[in-house]
């Protein structure tokens, strides 16, 4: 959809995006979702499942995998360590 809006082929768009941003469009979206989830876990009392849904993760397992890949910690552990008092 982004490639179409930019008037580019998906492959060319992905190359240009990676050249400018330093990561693929999919990796960028995943990183933004983790960042949003991180902030919600720090600042709200929402459950991990609610945060996952609010951030566009399809399942709780998906947010767990994304957190472990990006932050090397599970969402619940992250909240315990970094939740604002």
What mean pLDDT, rounded, does the chain reach? 94
Would you state the pLDDT for residue 85? Answer: 62
Percent over 70 (pLDDT), the chain: 99
- Tell me the per-residue pLDDT of 29-66, one tens digit each, with 9 for 90 and over: 999 999 999 999 999 999 999 999 999 999 999 999 99
Would you state the pLDDT for residue 15? Answer: 96
Q: What is the C-alpha separation between 31 and 24, in angstroms, rounded?
A: 11
Domains in the chain, number: 1
Residue 4 CB neighbour total at 10 angstroms: 10
Structural domain harbouring 19: 2-82
Residues 6+ apart with CB under 8 A from 53: none
Would you state the pLDDT for residue 55? Answer: 96
Q: What is the C-alpha separation between 78 and 39, in angstroms, rounded?
A: 10
Instruction: Kindly state the tokens that stand for 17.
Output: 């995006």
Would you state the pLDDT for residue 20? Answer: 96
For residue 60, give the CATH number of its domain: 1.10.10.60
Give the pLDDT mean for 65-69.
Answer: 95
Would you state the pLDDT for residue 82? Answer: 87
């Amino acid at each position: 959809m982004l490639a179409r809006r930019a008037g580019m082929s998906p492959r060319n768009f992905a190359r240009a995006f990676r050249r400018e941003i330093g990561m693929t469009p999919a990796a960028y979206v995943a990183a933004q979702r983790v960042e949003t989830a991180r902030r919600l876990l720090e600042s709200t009392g929402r459950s991990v499942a609610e945060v996952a849904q609010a951030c566009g993760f399809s399942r709780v397992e998906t947010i767990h995998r994304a957190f472990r890949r990006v932050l090397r910690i599970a969402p619940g552990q992250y909240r315990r360590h970094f939740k604002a008092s």
